[in-house]
Amino acid sequence: MDLTKNGSTKGPTDRRAHPLFRCMEKNLDAAPAPAVACRPHRPEATTRCAPVPARSDARWIEMVVSLDDARVVVPASRQEAIDAFGDGVDVVVGGATILQPEITAGRVRPGRALFLHRAGLDELRHDGDRVRVGATTTLETIAASGVEPLARAAGHIGDPEIRRQATLGGNVSAVGEGDLQAVLLALEASVRTVGPSGERTEGVDAFLRRFGGDEERLLLEAEFTVPEAAGYAVMDRFHTIPYTPLAVTAVRSDGVTRVAAKGAAPQSGRLPSVETALSAGASPEEAAAEAVADADPYDDALASAWYRRRRLPQLVTQALTEL
More confident residue, 257 or 62: 257
Question: How does the average pLDDT of the chain come out, rounded?
Answer: 81
Determine the pLDDT at residue 243.
81
- pLDDT of residue 213 exceeding 80: no
**Least confident residue range of 34-48, 139-153, 224-238:** 34-48
Q: Are 284 and 314 in contact (CB under 8 A)?
A: no
**Least confident residue range of 174-178, 204-208, 283-287:** 174-178
C-alpha to C-alpha distance for 290 and 86, rounded to whole angstroms: 44
What is the rounded average pLDDT of the residues 304-323?
98
- pLDDT of residue 6 exceeding 80: no
What is the rounded average pLDDT of the residues 294-311?
96
Residue-wise pLDDT tens digits, 23-68: 333 334 433 333 333 333 333 333 333 333 344 344 444 433 333 4
Q: Are 125 and 131 in contact (CB under 8 A)?
A: yes
Q: Are 246 and 268 in contact (CB under 8 A)?
A: no
Residue-wise pLDDT tens digits, 72-127: 899 999 999 999 999 998 889 898 888 888 877 888 888 888 999 999 999 999 99
- The residue ranges of DSSP E strands in 28-96, in sequence order, are 35-38, 49-52, 61-65, 70-74, 91-93
Domains of the chain by residue range: 15-115, 124-225, 229-321
**CA 313 distance to own-chain centroid:** 26
Supply the CATH classification number for the domain 124-225: 3.30.465.10
Residue-wise pLDDT tens digits, 168-184: 999 999 877 789 999 99
Domain 229-321 class? alpha beta
Where does residue 14 rank: exposed (0-12), middle (13-18), buried (19+ CB within 10 A)? Answer: exposed
**Least confident residue range of 13-27, 205-219, 242-256, 271-285:** 13-27
What residue type is 112 in one-letter code?
A: R
CA dihedral sign, ordered 285, 287, 288, 290: positive
